[in-house]
Amino acid sequence: MKHIRPSRLLALLAVLFSAISSVIGQTADQAWLKYELKGRVHSFFPIAVRALGSDVVEQAAMAELNRNLGLLVGQDASKMTARLKETLSGETVLGTVDEIQKSFPNIHVSQHLGPEDFWIWGNHEHGAKQLLIICGGTSRGVLYGAFELLRRPVVAPNLGLPKEGLIGRPAMPIRWVDEWDNIDGSIERGYGGRSIFFDAGHIRTDLAPATEYARLLASVGINGCNLNNVNSASAFFTPEMLKEVARIADAMRPYGVRVSLSADIASPQKLGGLPTFDPLDPAVRKWWNDKVNEIYSLIPDFGGFTVKADSEGQPGPASYGRSPADAANTLAAALAPHNGVVLYRAFVYNHHLDWTDPKADRARAAYDIFHPLDGKFAPNVVIQTKEGPIDFQAREPVSPLFGGIPHTSQAMELQITQEYLGQQRHLVYIAPMWKEVLDFNMRVDSATTPVKQIVSGTTFHRQLGGMVGVACVGQNGWLGSPLALANLYAFGRLSWNPDLRAEDIAAEWTRQTISTNPAVVRIVVNMLMQSWPAYESYTGPLGLQTLTDITGSHYGPNVEASERNGWGQWHKADHEGVGFDRTVATGTGYVGQYSPELANIYESTATTPDNLLLFFHHVPYTYKLHDGKTVIQYIYDSHYDGAAQAAHFVEDWHSLKGKFDPALFADVLPRLEYQANHAIVWRAAITQYFLKLSDIPDAQGRAGHYPNRLEAEDAHLTGYKIIDVNPWEDASRGKALSCDGLQSCSADFNYTGNPGSFEVAVEYFDLQGGSAKFTILINGHQQDTWSADDNLPSRSPNGDNSTRHIAHNIALKTGDVIRIEGTPDDADHAAFDYIEILVRSSAQ
Ligand code: GCV
């Protein structure tokens, strides 16, 4: 961190303390920094905490420790009585290497601390002589050491401090989150409400949540935050806006989080009025130099730029026949004198590919474009590559680019926000996927070269490198769903130490966030660990990608949305078979982008792992996987297994009732119930789609057979019209009912089964643009009523918004009339698909 002027320091201190003391709407305590949780408070360190330096980050570290200690004794440590202090005597001292050495000349301080490293050492004495030191390479190291100390009793309750002290150092220098916030306060792919930074073209007045966010980030070692959407960046570069952005930098600085901005390559033309944005044009270079100088005059520790160019409609150097290296290096030259970096995204591809060309392949793009440029990038350029070659799908192979640019610094980009993974409405803990990628051996030059060592800079001896997580936090509990926060936590922990295990991180997070009760930890960790496999199973298994609506919501099932368009997410399913031939021998040649050992594995169906089979190969439905099961049967089975697993999450959560914060329990339960139901929507859509396409029945007789279902279009209708649902697979038999232009409509079903008490499930479409009302009546008597007021994507009935309401304990006898009455509201036409009469009672 650069030297900061005293006046600025005072301003920063004011920010820090106002953030801590004022009443804050959204706080880091709502995530995992819950010091009041049993098991978090401890007497691990003496309560008299002293920071040797006045640096704002060191002060933040001290404040954090006092916060925890304050809860230890039920009061603020700074307000404790002398007697109490005497009882809990000794001293915890914070400082940089220089500060500690100066104050404690007799203590041998480790000389090898990098700027973000820390050393925690205790003299193992008791009483007044007890001394605990948190020493950092710089004040940021001190801060990370403080958070380590606070986490330790939760993470490693039985471990004391080793005699020689505890050293901590991050595995990689770049540990950033990206926000895709727009200047109007909306967030691209954000599922946690509106921006904590921006609103209506300005920076928010109250930036306390930004400080709290920085605190949360720092607690897991994240040191950078790129604030704005890569798709709408230029508006942030006006002089007025940059002054406002400096306020965000001030708000986050106490926690060592440097801010950076996405840069639009066309800014010199769009904002500067130049006739060109050719990166090699001298006037363009000067514009960038001046702009960067202006930024650093306002934000001396500015991190740098993130660039999306020549991608999905964003302007780029290709307009002038220039390469990404030309563009990146122009920005890098402007940033270099200030120690700023360019994170140039490898997500560059043509989204107007010719789907009729068997050789066209989007997966090839990053490697085809960036591999030839290896070694041509300035030292402060980092190529930021998504973990897979397509776009954060349920499963993809690891991007071959990680092994393809050994002379270039690299960062791995991953998504914390669950764009293609259930958008935070589904529980999907992504750390196991990230771990698979980090541990994946690229076998560069036949050596052991796991991705984690490539992106940390170790393998190819690069100074720079790291991990970037697209977080898209908002005002609604950061990520909009309590359990989704495990992903933000895991991202930070893995970027600090990619050797950690996903299940251990899950346990750490659970203990800090939910409960330290071993039974709770076991069940929650199990749910988290099962969640990605379950999601993959009920969406797109075998490397098919998510099978969602890729041109729209990216949420519900829509198998053909990926086909016959230029976006290149094709899976090439037809009557005979499914999968994309990317082999060298007969396909697009993508396989050849991997090292020879990996290419050999992926080139053959026999050696390709089943879970990626259809990403690399086109095979008949009757092709047998390694365990002898056919591809088509696997598709059926995995969807039934995945949906069963999702139903299990509800039961697991129920089993935890009464064991922790009832508000958290009550918040999460309906989310899991929703997920279990949406998994059924997915299951029905994908299985009936492939059943129809392949014409091969499910050997277990499930796909296409729904014995408990009563189709809405078979009912006796009053007002309701039968409509075609698009895509057809998102509704039972492709049809549903819609109440168009009437005050209310109804559908009557004759019950012909045995008498008893049942659950009646109504599968309806909760459309945007209104809250329709539904009522269930039996023989004219109302049994249940509810509003379709969830916030699900789309205004047309489809798998995005297909959801269900379950009425419990409904007594039925043969001949009863079950009536579903729908009352539309505005654009929500009370559409529904079917009802199901279920014996199972889940009225828990
Ligand atoms: C910011 C996907 C997302 C886009 C995103 C893009 C990217 O295509 O759907 O919203 O744009 O990735 O990473 O640039």
pLDDT in tens, 374-432: 999 999 999 999 999 999 999 999 999 999 999 999 999 999 999 999 999 999 999 99
User: Rounded CA gap, 384 and 409, in Å?
Assistant: 9
Coil, helix or strand for 386?
Answer: strand
Of ligand 1's listed atoms, the one at least distance from the Cα of 230 is 1
Per-residue pLDDT tens over the stretch 90-115? 899 999 999 999 999 999 997 789 99
At residue 573's C-alpha, the angle toward residues 608 and 704, to 5°, is 110
Backbone angles phi, psi at 44, to 5 degrees: -70, -30
Amino acid residing at 729? E
The number of beta carbons lying within 10 Å of the beta carbon of residue 414 is: 22
User: Rounded CA gap, 45 and 42, in Å?
Assistant: 8
Least confident of 86-100, 442-456, 526-540: 86-100
* Residue tagged active-site, from 184, 199, 312, 825: 312
391 included as an active-site residue: yes
Q: What pLDDT does 325 receive?
A: 98
Coil, helix or strand for 721?
Answer: strand
824 alpha carbon to ligand 1 midpoint, in Å? Answer: 34
Residue with tokens 């008791």: 126
Of ligand 1's listed atoms, the one at least distance from the Cα of 180 is 1
Q: What pLDDT does 499 receive?
A: 98
Of ligand 1's listed atoms, the one at least distance from the Cα of 231 is 1
Q: What pLDDT does 129 receive?
A: 86
Q: What pLDDT does 126 receive?
A: 77
Identify which of 312, 385, 416 to mutate to test ligand 1's pocket (most ligand atoms within 8 A of the CB): 312
Q: What pLDDT does 22 receive?
A: 38
pLDDT at 675 over 80: yes
User: Rounded CA gap, 464 and 408, in Å?
Assistant: 9
CA distances to 370, 405, 625, 802 from 408, rounded to whole Å, are: 10, 6, 38, 46
307 alpha carbon to ligand 1 midpoint, in Å? Answer: 12
| Overall pTM surpassing 0.75 (yes/no) | yes
Of ligand 1's listed atoms, the one at least distance from the Cα of 229 is 1
User: Rounded CA gap, 690 and 274, in Å?
Assistant: 54
Q: What pLDDT does 89 receive?
A: 75
- Closest residue by Cα to atom 12, ligand 1, is 391
* Residue tagged active-site, from 391, 396, 637, 698: 391
392 alpha carbon to ligand 1 midpoint, in Å? Answer: 9
- Residue pair 409/470 in contact by the 8 Å Cβ criterion: no
311 alpha carbon to ligand 1 midpoint, in Å? Answer: 9
Of ligand 1's listed atoms, the one at least distance from the Cα of 189 is 10
Identify which of 186, 187, 189 to mutate to test ligand 1's pocket (most ligand atoms within 8 A of the CB): 189
- Residue pair 544/580 in contact by the 8 Å Cβ criterion: no
CA distances to 303, 388, 407, 443 from 373, rounded to whole Å, are: 24, 20, 9, 21
Of ligand 1's listed atoms, the one at least distance from the Cα of 308 is 14
Query: Of residues 26 and 650, which shows the higher confidence score?
Result: 650
* Residue tagged active-site, from 117, 387, 419, 821: 419
- Residue pair 698/795 in contact by the 8 Å Cβ criterion: no
Query: For residue 400, is the peptide bond before it cis, meaning its omega torsion is within 30 degrees of 0?
Result: no
User: Rounded CA gap, 797 and 311, in Å?
Assistant: 31
- The pair of structure tokens assigned to 791 is 């916030």
The confidence band for 80, taking pLDDT boundaries of 50, 70 and 90, is low
229 alpha carbon to ligand 1 midpoint, in Å? Answer: 9
230 alpha carbon to ligand 1 midpoint, in Å? Answer: 8
The confidence band for 10, taking pLDDT boundaries of 50, 70 and 90, is very low
Q: Which of the 8 DSSP states describes residue 263? A: E
Of ligand 1's listed atoms, the one at least distance from the Cα of 188 is 10
Of ligand 1's listed atoms, the one at least distance from the Cα of 413 is 13
Mean pLDDT of the chain: 93
User: Rounded CA gap, 141 and 120, in Å?
Assistant: 10
- Residue pair 721/738 in contact by the 8 Å Cβ criterion: yes
pLDDT at 12 over 60: no
- Residue pair 470/498 in contact by the 8 Å Cβ criterion: no
- Closest residue by Cα to atom 2, ligand 1, is 391
CA distances to 226, 255, 292, 412 from 264, rounded to whole Å, are: 13, 28, 13, 21
pLDDT at 44 over 80: no
Query: Of residues 311 and 78, which shows the higher confidence score?
Result: 311
131 alpha carbon to ligand 1 midpoint, in Å? Answer: 50
pLDDT at 232 over 60: yes
Of ligand 1's listed atoms, the one at least distance from the Cα of 419 is 9
- Closest residue by Cα to atom 7, ligand 1, is 347
Closest to 403 (Cα-Cα) out of 385, 426, 425? 385
- What sign for the dihedral angle of Cα 767, 772, 778, 780? negative
Least confident of 44-48, 200-204, 481-485, 747-751: 44-48
* Ligand 1 pocket, Cβ-based, cut-off 6 angstroms: 180, 188-189, 229-231, 308, 312, 347, 391, 419
835 alpha carbon to ligand 1 midpoint, in Å? Answer: 37
445 included as an active-site residue: no
Q: What pLDDT does 153 receive?
A: 78
pLDDT at 130 over 90: no
Q: What pLDDT does 844 receive?
A: 33
Q: What pLDDT does 196 receive?
A: 98
Per-residue pLDDT tens over the stretch 67-76? 887 665 555 5
576 included as an active-site residue: no
Q: What pLDDT does 568 receive?
A: 95
Q: What pLDDT does 3 receive?
A: 41
352 alpha carbon to ligand 1 midpoint, in Å? Answer: 16
**In residues, how long is the chain?**
844
- Closest residue by Cα to atom 11, ligand 1, is 231
831 alpha carbon to ligand 1 midpoint, in Å? Answer: 31
User: Rounded CA gap, 161 and 94, in Å?
Assistant: 16
User: Rounded CA gap, 544 and 679, in Å?
Assistant: 17
Q: What is the mean pLDDT of residues 42-55?
A: 82
276 alpha carbon to ligand 1 midpoint, in Å? Answer: 26
Burial class of residue 244 (count of CB atoms within 10 Å of its CB; 0-12, 13-18, 19+)? middle
Q: What pLDDT does 43 receive?
A: 52
312 alpha carbon to ligand 1 midpoint, in Å? Answer: 8
Q: What is the mean pLDDT of residues 588-594?
A: 98
Q: What is the mean pLDDT of residues 708-721?
A: 97
Q: What pLDDT does 28 receive?
A: 82
pLDDT at 5 over 80: no
Per-residue pLDDT tens over the stretch 802-818? 999 999 999 999 999 99
Task: Report the C-alpha dihedral over residues 106, 110, 114, 116, rounded to 10 degrees.
Answer: -70
Query: Of residues 367 and 5, which shows the higher confidence score?
Result: 367
The confidence band for 79, taking pLDDT boundaries of 50, 70 and 90, is low
Q: What percent of the chain has pLDDT over 90?
A: 87
Q: What pLDDT does 41 receive?
A: 53
The number of beta carbons lying within 10 Å of the beta carbon of residue 709 is: 18
